[in-house]
Structure 1
């Protein structure tokens, strides 16, 4: 190893600033897979912060969020999570096809 590979101030070896494109994309897909359930859970908790509807609201006051709007919100979030997971799965499938270069097993060589 030559002297330029070492960082003189800390005595540690320098790491590469950039990683291979394939590795970077694989890591981002793994990050999405990890964050999607947490994002969904947070979005499902949003209606818990809405004010309860007042059964007898005073004139010219906000009466809270009606249950029908909360349920509509829940179904919209649910649908968006399904679409996001479908998009994620298609991205993983495309990545797997490019990674394996059209073979069934990752270790096999393509034609």
Structure 2
């Protein structure tokens, strides 16, 4: 009786890890979007100056994180699609 190997082949293992990375991206994005909540609030000091991060910087940060998440998801999707077609699975474009 032939025994199946205990470990997965490399290509299948990598494909599963890429899919796991795609599933983890929303959680990573949520965590990174929470960072501006840790920045100091806008309160004036006795001297009248502000000790806070400007709102424009926070919006740039949030938009930058969003753009990086979109690019990361696109790159991981392309890589998993290429790996799946190499394994002989039909791609979404074949339908």
TM-score class normalised by the smaller sequence? 0.7 to 0.9
CA distance in 2, matches of 1:97, 1:27: 14
Kindly report structure 1 stretches of 4+ aligned residues shifted beyond 4 Å: none
1:22 equivalent in alignment to 2:11: yes
- Larger RCO of the pair (alpha carbons < 8 Å, separation 6+): 2
User: Structure 2 unaligned runs (5+)?
Assistant: none
After TM superposition, the structure 1 = structure 2 runs for residues 45-60 of structure 1, keeping only pairs within 5 Å, are 45-54=34-43, 56-59=44-47
Bigger Cα displacement from structure 2, 82-91 vs 23-32? 23-32
User: 2-side partners of 1:92 and 1:104: how far apart?
Assistant: 12
Paired position in structure 1 for 2:60: 72
Larger proportion of helix? 2
Distance across 1 between alignment mates of 2:54 and 2:84: 45
Where does structure 1 lack aligned partners over 5 or more consecutive residues? 2-14, 106-111
Matching of residue 83 in structure 1 with residue 66 in structure 2: no
Determine if the alignment matches structure 1 residue 93 to structure 2 residue 81: yes
RMSD: 2.4
Task: Tell me what 1:38 maps to.
Answer: 27
In structure 1, distance between residues paired with 2:23 and 2:15: 12
Larger radius of gyration: 1
Q: How many residues align?
A: 87
What is the TM-score of this pair, normalised by structure 2? Answer: 0.77
